[in-house]
Amino acid sequence: MRTPAGYVEIALNWDEYFDDEANVSTDESGKNVKKCALLYFYSVETGASVFDGPKESVSEYDDRTLSWTPHMFKGFLPEGTYHVVVMNRNFTNAHLLYDDKFEDARIDIAKDDGESVSFGKTRVAKAGDLICAPASVFLASGLDGDTKTLTVGNLDTVKRVASPKHMIKRVTFTITLEDFSASACRGVLGGVSASLKCSTCQCLPVSGRVKFQTEADATNPNVFKASFNVFDLIPAGAQSHLLELTLTIDGSERTTTVDISDDVLKELEKGDFTYDLPLALHIKVTHTIEGDIQASVEGWDDSGSGSGTGSY
Does one domain contain both 194 and 208? yes
What CATH number is given to the structural domain containing 278?
2.60.40
> Residue 29: exposed, middle, or buried by beta-carbon count in 10 A (0-12, 13-18, 19+)?
exposed
Query: Which residue type occupies 304?
Result: G
Tens digit of each residue's pLDDT (9 = 90 or more) over 41-100:
999 999 999 865 444 444 455 545 665 667 888 888 889 999 999 998 878 899 899 999
How many alpha carbons lie under 13 Å from residue 226 in its C-beta half-sphere?
A: 23
* DSSP H helices in 213-269: 261-269
* C-alpha distance across the termini of the chain, in Å: 52
Residue ending a domain, among 125, 148, 166, is 166
Beta bridge partners of 171: 228, 279
Position 40 pLDDT exceeds 70: yes
Average pLDDT over residues 211-225: 93
Residue 310 counted as domain residue = no
Residues 6+ apart with CB under 8 A from 302: none
Residue 39 counted as domain residue = yes
Residue-number span of the structural domain to which 149 is assigned: 5-90+136-166
54 vs 8, which has greater pLDDT?
A: 8
Query: Which residue type occupies 258?
Result: V
Question: What pLDDT does residue 34 have?
Answer: 55
Residue 304 counted as domain residue = no
Does one domain contain both 211 and 229? yes
